[in-house]
Amino acid sequence: NASRILGKTVLITGASSGIGAATAVLFAKGGANVILLARRQDALAKVAEACAAAHKESGLQQGGKFAHIQLDVSDRAQIALLWSKVPQDLRDVDILVNNAGFVKGLEHVGDINEDEIDAMFATNSFANSFHTTDFKKKQSGHVINLGSIAGIEPYAGGSIYTATKHAVNAFSGSLLRELVNTPIRVTEIQPGMVETEFSIVRFRGDESAAKKVYEGLEPLTAEDIAEEIVWAAARPPHVNIASVLVFPVNQA
């Protein structure tokens, strides 16, 4: 029931493109308020405009407040300053979507740049503890983490990325158990192949290598994953969708 997201406030990390951007627009369309975070300000501003247009088109009275804030989730000092930048009326967050993430290069162990290893763990894994402390004090709430099939199945060349996503899987499972008997829900979304900027970033900008991955199959779209996220958020309060594993039909 989509009415369960009406008037809710959603904070989304990595909202400047792909799954995060599509999720922001879908929540906006459903009558939610959205705080959009990422590093690219121009891209964030465009997504905020798309949110405002989707909300207007919906004709809904609830929601419709959008804030976009430049933030590098791998930088703790920036995270500490976040709340001073969030408008007062959006500080009580109901739904936190920990979505920011990337993989750069699929080199084998030993060939991976050490700074990139640090950045991948900081962004994909450690940032997931983002504001969960504040959440524990709340009377209701929902933490939604973006895991991956890579958080369940390792593959050659994916040593660091799969490790970061296995960490998301372990973190989500532990958090879920820690929050049993509280009104806080925890969901992990585990997508298979989704065609986004991620698909190109992982090959360091090589578009033809990126396309090859999808030969013979139709990848998921960012909108497909956004639908799963909003669906999980719109379940009745006593229902916790612990995980959603979602693939293209022709991905093995």
The residues of the shown chain that bind ligand NDP, judged by CB under 6 A, are 13-20, 38-40, 43, 71-74, 99-102, 123-124, 146, 148, 191, 193-194, 196-199, 201, 222
Which residues lie closer than 8 Å to 14 by C-beta, 6 or more apart? 20, 37, 38, 73, 99, 100, 101, 146
Residue 83 token pair: 């709340």
Catalytic residue among 161, 211, 212, 214: 161
For ligand NDP, which is the closer residue by CB, 37 or 60?
Answer: 37
Kindly state the smallest distance separating residue 91's Cβ from ligand NDP, in Å. Answer: 20
155 is catalytic: no
Kindly state the smallest distance separating residue 211's Cβ from ligand NDP, in Å. Answer: 13
For ligand NDP, which is the closer residue by CB, 31 or 101?
Answer: 101
For ligand NDP, which is the closer residue by CB, 88 or 114?
Answer: 114
Q: How many CA atoms lie within 13 A of 12 on its CB side?
A: 31
Q: How many CA atoms lie within 13 A of 6 on its CB side?
A: 9
161 is catalytic: yes
Give the E-state strand segments of the chain in sequence order. 9-13, 33-38, 66-70, 95-98, 141-146, 184-191, 243-246
For ligand NDP, which is the closer residue by CB, 40 or 91?
Answer: 40
Kindly state the smallest distance separating residue 236's Cβ from ligand NDP, in Å. Answer: 26
Which residues lie closer than 8 Å to 212 by C-beta, 6 or more apart? none
Kindly state the smallest distance separating residue 70's Cβ from ligand NDP, in Å. Answer: 8
Q: Which residues pair with 37 in a beta bridge?
A: 13, 69
Kindly state the smallest distance separating residue 125's Cβ from ligand NDP, in Å. Answer: 10
DSSP secondary structure of 139-188? SSEEEEEE--GGGTS--TT-HHHHHHHHHHHHHHHHHHHHTTTSSEEEEE
Catalytic residue among 155, 165, 211, 212: 165
For ligand NDP, which is the closer residue by CB, 52 or 201?
Answer: 201
Q: Known catalytic residues?
A: 161, 165
